[in-house]
Amino acid sequence: MAYIVIIGIVGLIWTGITAALFPPTEGQLEDVLMGGSPGRGLFGGLLYFGLTGLIFFLGSVIIQAAVVRAALALTRGQTIELQTLFKFDNLPQLLIGALIVAVLTSIGSMLCYFPGLIVTFFTQFYVHFLIDQDMTGVDAIKASFKFVNQNLGTLVGFFLASLVAYFIGALLCGIGLLVALPVVFIAQAYTYQRLRGVAVAA
């Protein structure tokens, strides 16, 4: 939750900076207030969306890693501390893995969406392997593919249940996602440990 607040604050600051660098004209002000680009002209718009996309990509990767790290700590019966969430020794590999997954998912989504969903399904545990076993981004993705393939029957049901939870959470004006996301991440960590034969805390 703290990470979500931080990313929200960073987003507001970034919007203020870009609005100062590329001030909107009077006719563009309404578009900016409605969530449009504050940039003036093609270059300003491309720069704004490019850098904004990069910032939110990095933010989403950091949030995901923090939540997975916390969920794994829960499976071990460990107390979640602030230093646990902000420990990113393997950040470069995490970003590499996230970039690869994002590219593969985007390509798959352009091919009638379903292939992108398959990529998401098979890479759903790459962050767990990367953090838990200190793997490289590429090796963690390979490990996730292998792990999911070996437990296909169990994980298909789990993945579909997760999608249903996300969908229901999104229907509740998005507020339900604040509940659905942590629950799914914790369940995912427990599933990851149990299917690997690792004892988990009650």
pLDDT of res. 5:
44
Query: What CA–CA distances, in Å, run from 54 to 49, 61, 114, 117, 172?
Result: 8, 11, 25, 22, 28
How far is 109 from 104, CA to CA, in rounded Å? 9
Mean pLDDT (whole number) for 7-29? 53
Report, as an integer, the average pLDDT of 41-54.
Answer: 61
CA-to-CA separations, 50 to 12, 44, 110, 121, in angstroms, rounded: 16, 10, 20, 27
The pLDDT tens digits of the residues spanning 130-188 come to 999 999 999 999 999 999 999 999 999 999 998 888 888 878 776 777 788 888 889 99
Predicted pLDDT of residue 48: 60
181 vs 72, which has greater pLDDT? 72
What is the rounded CA–CA span in Å between residue 68 and residue 163? 17
Q: Report the candidate in 23, 58, 17 with the shortest Cα–Cα distance to residue 38.
A: 23
